[in-house]
Every structure is written in C-alpha cells, then in structure tokens.
Amino acid sequence: MKKGFARRAIAATVALGLGMTLAACSSGGGGGGGTAVQSGDYKGPKVTVTFWNGWTGGDQQTILKKLVSQFNSSHKNITINPVELQWADISAKMPLAIKAGKGPDVTVAHGDDIATYAAQGLLVKSDAIIKDLGYTASDFPPGLFEHGAYQGAQYGIPWSVTPLGLYVNKSVLQKAGISPTDTPADKATYLSDLQKLKSKGIQGEWVDGYVFTGTFEFESLLWQYGGDLFNKDVSKATFNSPAGVQALTWMVDLVKQGYSPGKVAQDGNINALIAGKNAFNWNGIWQTSNTALLKDQWAAAPVPQIGSQKAVWSSSTDWAFVNNKGQDKNKTQAAAVFVKWMNEHSTVWAGGGELPAANKVRNAASLASQYPNLKPFLGELQYAHFETTAPGIPNAEATITTAVNEAVLQKKSPKQALDDAASQADKLLAQNKQQYGG
Amino acid sequence: MADTTVARSAPRSTRSGGPSGRTRPRRPSGRRTLTAYLFLAPFLILFLVFVVAPAIWGIWISLHSWNPLLPIHPFIGLSNYINLFTPGSLTSGDFWLSMGATAIFTVFSVPFLVAIPLLVAVLLNQRLRGGTVFRAIFFAPYVLGVAVIGVVWRYLLDPQNGVINNLLDGLGITQNFPWTVDVPWAWISLVGVTVWWISGFNMVSLLAGLKGINAELYEAAGIDGAGAIRKFWSVTLPGLRPVMAFVTTTTILSSANMFGQSYLLTKGAPGHATRTAIMYIADEGLSQNQMGAASAMSYVLFAVLAIISIINFRLQSRTSGD
C-alpha cells in the first residue's frame, strides 16, 4: 500500500511540478481564429498530422490502424500519425502539451469532455471548417451535433455513438417458458417476464450501483419518466425530481421484489448473464464485441419502455481540432480532410462495438447486414439522450453514481439519496461555473 | 534501566571518522565535515527537490483555488482549510467521511498487522525444519504490487461469482456475503487482504529483531525457572522494543495511507463508506483538478498523522525508559 502510493505520489508531484513550470511559461490560450478548409481535397505541402485517441487495445485499435494506413496510402501529401493514450491521460496531458505546442493536431474526445477542453481554449473554433466539410446537425442522430457546441461555437464533429441496450440470455428465457424471440419492450411484459423467471427461482435482472451500468440504467429511466439530469444552463441538478425518484425507486423495487439480488458487484450482472444466471442486463452496445457472450444464446434489444416515454442513455465520441501554440493551419486543414474521410469510411467501426455517428453510413443497409447484432441499437438513436455539455461536468455526474449505489444497497431511500447527491452536485456546478466561467 | 537495554540488538558502533581518521587526529575536522556533507549531498539534493520543495509548494497551492487546467489560480487565503472545518461546505462532509474510513481501517488493521507477524516470527525463530521455506511463503505476497493483489482478490471475493462465496456455498453457507460491495464485509475484506499482503514484511523485520536477542538471556531466564510464556513477556518483548517501535510506526503510517485496496476492491462503495482519505485527496486533486483543496486536505491529514506519530513515539520511549 505504501509502496504503490509513494510511487503515485512521486509521479503526481513530478507531473505537478512540471505542469507548474509549463503553465507559468504560457498565457492562457484563446479560442483560436477558425481556419477555413478549401472545399475538396487538401492541396497544401506534405504534412504529418498527429492524431490522439484513447483506443489502446482490442478490435477498435486494430480497425483504427487499418483505416489510418488505408488513408495514408490514398493521400500522398498527408501522413496521419496516430498516438494511443488512455482516455484519462488525454485529458490530463493535452492542456500542457498544447500550451507547449506539442499537442496533437486532431483528437477524439468523449462528448462530455468537449466543453471542458473548449473552455480551456484547447480547441479550434470549427464552425468554418465544418461548414466547408458540409456537415450540418441533420447528418447525425437528433441532439448529437449540438452537444459538440460550447458558447455558440461548434467544436466537435461526431464520430461514434454508444447507446445502452437490453441484453438477453435466450436459454434462460426458455427455461422460464418465455419465447426467446419475444424480448420485452414495455413495463407490463418486462414485469411479467421477471415474475415468470422468479417463479423458476431465477433473479431476472441484477441491479448494480456502479457507473457500469447502474448509473446508465438510472439515467435512461429518469428520461423515460420525463425528467432530466440538470437544468437548461447546467446550474442546478434536477435528477432528484419526482421523475428521478420514480426511476430509482423502480430499480430498488426490483431488489425489494426479489427480481434482483441486493448486493451486486460491478460487472456482476453481465458476468451472470454470460454464466446463465440471469436473463436481462441493461448494458452498453460495446458488449456486442464481448466474445464471452458467445458461450450462450444471447440477443440484444432496445431497452424496454418503463416510464411514460421512450428514452435511452448514450455516450458519444467526437473529433476535435486542436489549437496548439503556433498551430500550423495546413495541418488543421489536412486533419479536416482526414476526419471527413474517416466518417465516410466508418462502416467497419461497428465491428468494435460502436455505432458510426454519420447517418448516411449508419443507416445504410450494408451496416445492418454486416453487423446484425448492432441492428437493435439503430432505432434507439431516435430517442437517445447524450452527455450533458458543460465544462467540468464529470464531477457533478459522479454524484449520481453515489446516489444510485446508496439507494440500491438500501443505505438511503431513493429520494434521500438523490436529494443528498443533488445538493452536492449543485455545489460542484457552482464551483465549475466559477472556475471555467460560462 | 540500563541493564534491560543489553537485550537490544546492540547498534554496531558506527565507525567514527574514516580509514584516515586515526593517522590525522583532530586537526582536519573542517575537511572531514565537508567530506561527510559531500557524501550526504546526493541524498540531500533528492530530499530537497522531491520532499522539501514540493511540501512548501504544496502549502502555497493550498492557499489558492488551483485548477491546473486553467491559467489563473486565484489566491483565496485559508478558505480551503476553513471549508474543511465548515459543515455543509463542498468538501467537509466527504473529507471527514474519508478520514473516518481511514481511521476504521487503521484501527482494525494495525493490531493484526503487528500481532500475526509477531506470532509467526516467534514460531519461525524456533529453528524449525523447513523454516526458510515458510519464511519465503509468508513473505511472498509482499512481493506483489497492489494492482495484482487488487485484481486477484476482486475475482476471489466477488459476491455472486467469486471463488470464496462458492466455496462457502459448498460448505453449506449460502448467504453470498457481499465482500466487496457492502460494509462491514468490505472492511473485513480490506483488512484481511492487507494483512495477507503486508504481514510478510513485518514478519521479516521482527524475525531480524528476534535474531538479535542474546540467547544467554533465555538461558538465564530458564535457570530462574521461567517458562515459554514468561520468557516471551520478559525477554522477547523487551528485546524487540526498538524493532517493534519501527514496525508499529511504519504500519500505522502505511495503513493511514491506504489507497490501492479500496480503489481496486470496493471502489469506495457502499456510497463512499470505504473511500480512504488518500483516495479522496487523489480524486479531488487529480480527477477533479482541485489541487488547492486537495493540498489543504493533505496538510490536515499530515497534521493528524504527525500528532499520532508523536504520541506513538512518546508511548514507546516511556515504556523503554522504566
């Protein structure tokens, strides 16, 4: 324990010390002017474009590398140099690297990071580039493009979306006498299925109190009951509204009714589904590439509608052009060409368990036929809710997980847990506004 | 008094001076001091650069609203400290909850981390057949990093799919204890895993101390009619005192700095009940980018640990003084 911590502490101290030195040398970066890209291809001198991303392993890394080398061989004057880092490292390293002029030219960021980066002046205001590339909000699922904007300027171009879905173990359903093709789509069917499973001694859905995936399930239910996470200008938490209490009560009731065990560990539910111990799991589309699922008969379906309207949680990743100190406009221009090309060739990205954000690619018949497991998620994007856009928002979002955890473990009532979390979140939101402005 | 200290592993008389010390008596003491400082310099420089300078820098940071991502860090005086002692502020509730978790862990882990290694060390000191093998076995877990033990035990302790609950199931105990999910079971896991992990190191230190106790003392005690238990209390424990002081102090400090086990095994759940002070400070400083508040918390934690260490040393020196 001491060993590990000491190492971490030293690393942190060194990083911090370095950070101070670098930060002291630079004045805060501005928003950047907004480079325009000539329509058509890049005609400038030969450039190497550095591209940071967080796909450090698995199918996604392989697919990405293939796409990049394909791009490089078809574009004589552009060389893309991909750099893989842990997502958390990207947010930690980029600010300093950019201030030193050593950051990437283009990066991929999660939807809820874009505003934080933009508020720090790390990204290029990209309205002109996006206009030249010909993108509009209607090229992407409803509500997604807007999430890449901050204070009236567009910074992000959507790349992928990852909604939640309902994973089903078909053999377990059959054991309870439920037709494996009849996946439940509404509250009544869902409850009657859980009841049938319970009568066979099977706890049908295991509710957990962790980010993966209890928090995502709670947020989906909150929206289904007509609530929202935060108010319009993200100055107040609203997840403790009556809708939120209803949503969390539904989850806790699954435990109280005996449809779920009471103390599930993180990932305990998907592992139980794989082991044939439960029938349903609300989990992300990324599980479609989990080969362990192949051990049993499984299927994915849209999440059932429990509340008064259809809604589902989804995350997203976006492209963003980076505003390095002394950023070479040719490189940004070349990066824009790369982004457009990638989005056009993103069909294969579905193989890594994420949906391409570009409507044209995602809705093409070839995608559904090539990746049939992903088909049930496609329709969900009509009513999916994406991350909240506000600088520093992850800290306020983390309070939701605490509430879900406390309620699911029955340490607090759903209302009490949500009220406590909301009051903490309000303080964090005030702190964020004060520090990042806006 | 002085005669009890005989049992202490006699400190090797530090060779004063150097090889040249004898040939040139007294005069060149200035140069000798300089030589000594030169030899100390490498460590001194590291100490100044990596301990003293960051410590002072940390005090400076703690007086600011310091978000490392932003170019401006407003000076806010003692606000970060005042917030910690103001109920209902952003940080006070979470901070004192984490200090409480640290206290629980320390209080429950330190006695086991001292008593069990002591017992094992005494047993291994008996010139058993295969003693070296056992010593290696007990020491082995300490070689592993916290990441390894965290991941391994998370598999073993998983409430629904873990090996331990499955074994208990086989024995007819079908309760599915939530080892990593709910208290008090999470505390049992955290303390148990830590004892398994760290005991080997304390055992080796204590064993070294045992080897330093003069065998004649046991013989003399035997002649006076002392049995095994009496020998343990009257010869072994007093003889181990300096080593015990070292072991308890380092164990208290390392328990109070616990991070990895909670981070990997329980993730601080339920709620934040098993989130230790260091874990909260790391989250506040490195994930939430509130370096100012995190530094202030570090200093409060430091103050508490300093007080505990002083009390600990006082107690140890008082018992050895009589």
Decide if pLDDT at A18 tops 70.
no
Whether B74 has its CB under 8 Å from any CB of chain A: the answer is no
Decide if pLDDT at B233 tops 60.
yes
Handedness of CA B107, B111, B112, B117 (dihedral sign): positive
Decide if pLDDT at B26 tops 90.
no
Q: What is the CA radius of gyration of chain B?
A: 25
Mean of the pLDDT values across residues A305-321?
A: 96
The rounded distance, in Å, linking the Cα atoms of B244 and B111 is 12
Q: Work out the minimum CA distance from A431 to partner chain B, whole angstroms.
A: 9
Q: Work out the minimum CA distance from A34 to partner chain B, whole angstroms.
A: 22
B269 interaction partners in chain A (CB closer than 8 Å): 209-210, 405, 409
User: What pLDDT was estimated at residue B319?
Assistant: 60
User: What pLDDT was estimated at residue A41?
Assistant: 75
Total residue count of chain A as it appears in this document: 438
Whether B255 has its CB under 8 Å from any CB of chain A: the answer is yes
Name the band, by pLDDT with cuts 50, 70 and 90, for residue A438.
low
The rounded distance, in Å, linking the Cα atoms of A245 and A229 is 12
Whether B102 has its CB under 8 Å from any CB of chain A: the answer is no
Q: Work out the minimum CA distance from B308 to partner chain A, whole angstroms.
A: 17
Whether A402 has its CB under 8 Å from any CB of chain B: the answer is yes
User: What pLDDT was estimated at residue A42?
Assistant: 85
A263 interaction partners in chain B (CB closer than 8 Å): 159, 176, 178, 181-182
> For B267-287, what is the HEC assignment?
CCCCCCCCCCHHHHHHHHHHH
Nearest by CB to A395, which of B72, B270, B288? B288
Helix or strand run (H / E) with residue A273: helix A268-274
The rounded distance, in Å, linking the Cα atoms of A159 and A358 is 7
Inspect the interface and report whether the beta carbons of A120 and B70 lie closer than 8 Å.
yes
In this predicted model, what pLDDT tens digit does every residue of A375-394 receive, in sequence order? 999 999 999 999 898 999 99
B272 interaction partners in chain A (CB closer than 8 Å): 402
Whether A266 has its CB under 8 Å from any CB of chain B: the answer is yes
CA A348 to chain centre: 19
The DSSP letter of residue B267 is T
B297 interaction partners in chain A (CB closer than 8 Å): none
Task: Choose, out of A2, A14, A255, the residue to mutate when testing the contact with B (most B CBs < 10 Å).
Answer: A2
User: What pLDDT was estimated at residue B29?
Assistant: 67
- Answer whether the bond into residue B25 is a cis peptide, omega within 30°: no
Inspect the interface and report whether the beta carbons of A206 and B160 lie closer than 8 Å.
yes
Domains of chain B by residue range: 46-321
Decide if pLDDT at A58 tops 90.
no
Inspect the interface and report whether the beta carbons of B286 and A431 lie closer than 8 Å.
no
Mean per-residue pLDDT of chain A? 89
Q: Which residue has the higher pLDDT, B174 or B163?
A: B163
User: What pLDDT was estimated at residue B45?
Assistant: 92
Are β-strands A156-169 and A153-154 bridged in parallel, bridged antiparallel, or unpaired? unpaired
**Chain B: residue nearest A28 by CA?**
B71
Whether A265 has its CB under 8 Å from any CB of chain B: the answer is yes
Decide if pLDDT at A126 tops 60.
yes
Q: Which 268-327 residues of chain A touch chain B by CB within 8 A?
A: 268, 271-272, 275, 277
User: What pLDDT was estimated at residue B284?
Assistant: 93
**Measured torsion, CA atoms of residues A216, A220, A226, A229, in degrees rounded to the nearest 10:** 20
User: What pLDDT was estimated at residue A437?
Assistant: 81
Whether A395 has its CB under 8 Å from any CB of chain B: the answer is yes
Least trusted range by pLDDT, from A59-68, B19-28, B278-287: B19-28
Decide if pLDDT at B14 tops 50.
no
User: What pLDDT was estimated at residue B28?
Assistant: 55
Residue A244 CB partners (closer than 8 Å, separation 6+): A218, A222, A225, A227, A238, A418
Domains and CATH numbers, chain A: 35-162+315-385 (3.40.190.10), 163-314+390-436 (3.40.190.10)
Q: Work out the minimum CA distance from A424 to partner chain B, whole angstroms.
A: 7
Decide if pLDDT at A6 tops 70.
no
| Percentages of chain A per state (helix, strand, coil), in multiples of 5 | 50, 15, 35
Name the band, by pLDDT with cuts 50, 70 and 90, for residue B176.
confident
Give the amino acid at A89: D
The rounded distance, in Å, linking the Cα atoms of B78 and B63 is 6
- Percentage of chain A beyond pLDDT 90 is 76
Q: Is this prediction's pTM over 0.90? A: no
Strand runs labelled E in B80-193: none
Whether B106 has its CB under 8 Å from any CB of chain A: the answer is no
User: What pLDDT was estimated at residue B1?
Assistant: 37
Inspect the interface and report whether the beta carbons of B178 and A8 lie closer than 8 Å.
no
Inspect the interface and report whether the beta carbons of A13 and B54 lie closer than 8 Å.
yes
The DSSP letter of residue A87 is H
Are β-strands A156-169 and A355-356 bridged in parallel, bridged antiparallel, or unpaired? antiparallel
Alpha-helical regions (H) of A345-413? 359-362, 365-370, 375-378, 394-408
The rounded distance, in Å, linking the Cα atoms of B319 and B238 is 9
User: What pLDDT was estimated at residue B19?
Assistant: 45
The rounded distance, in Å, linking the Cα atoms of A196 and A190 is 10
Map tokens 């170019």 to a residue. B71
Decide if pLDDT at B232 tops 50.
yes
Nearest by CB to A268, which of B158, B197, B272? B158
The rounded distance, in Å, linking the Cα atoms of A420 and A415 is 9
Name the band, by pLDDT with cuts 50, 70 and 90, for residue A52.
very high
Name the band, by pLDDT with cuts 50, 70 and 90, for residue A36.
very low
β-bridge mates for residue A314, sequence order: A163
User: What pLDDT was estimated at residue B316?
Assistant: 77
Residue A246, helix vs strand vs coil:
helix
User: What pLDDT was estimated at residue A137?
Assistant: 94
Q: Which residue has the higher pLDDT, A35 or A69?
A: A69
The DSSP letter of residue B288 is S
Name the band, by pLDDT with cuts 50, 70 and 90, for residue A12.
very low
Buried b (16+ CB within 10 A) or exposed e, A48-83: ebbbbbbbeeebbbebbeebbeebbeebeebebebe
The DSSP letter of residue A313 is E
In this predicted model, what pLDDT tens digit does every residue of A392-435 receive, in sequence order? 999 999 999 999 999 999 999 999 999 999 999 999 999 999 98
Q: Which CATH number does B46-321 carry?
A: 1.10.3720.10
Inspect the interface and report whether the beta carbons of B259 and A8 lie closer than 8 Å.
yes
In this predicted model, what pLDDT tens digit does every residue of A176-225 receive, in sequence order? 999 988 899 999 999 999 999 999 999 999 999 999 899 999 999 999 99
Inspect the interface and report whether the beta carbons of B147 and A4 lie closer than 8 Å.
yes
A10 interaction partners in chain B (CB closer than 8 Å): 50
Q: How many CB pairs under 8 A join A and B?
A: 127
Q: Which residue has the higher pLDDT, A241 or A292?
A: A241
The rounded distance, in Å, linking the Cα atoms of A356 and A210 is 27
Q: Work out the minimum CA distance from B73 to partner chain A, whole angstroms.
A: 9
Mean of the pLDDT values across residues A131-149?
A: 93
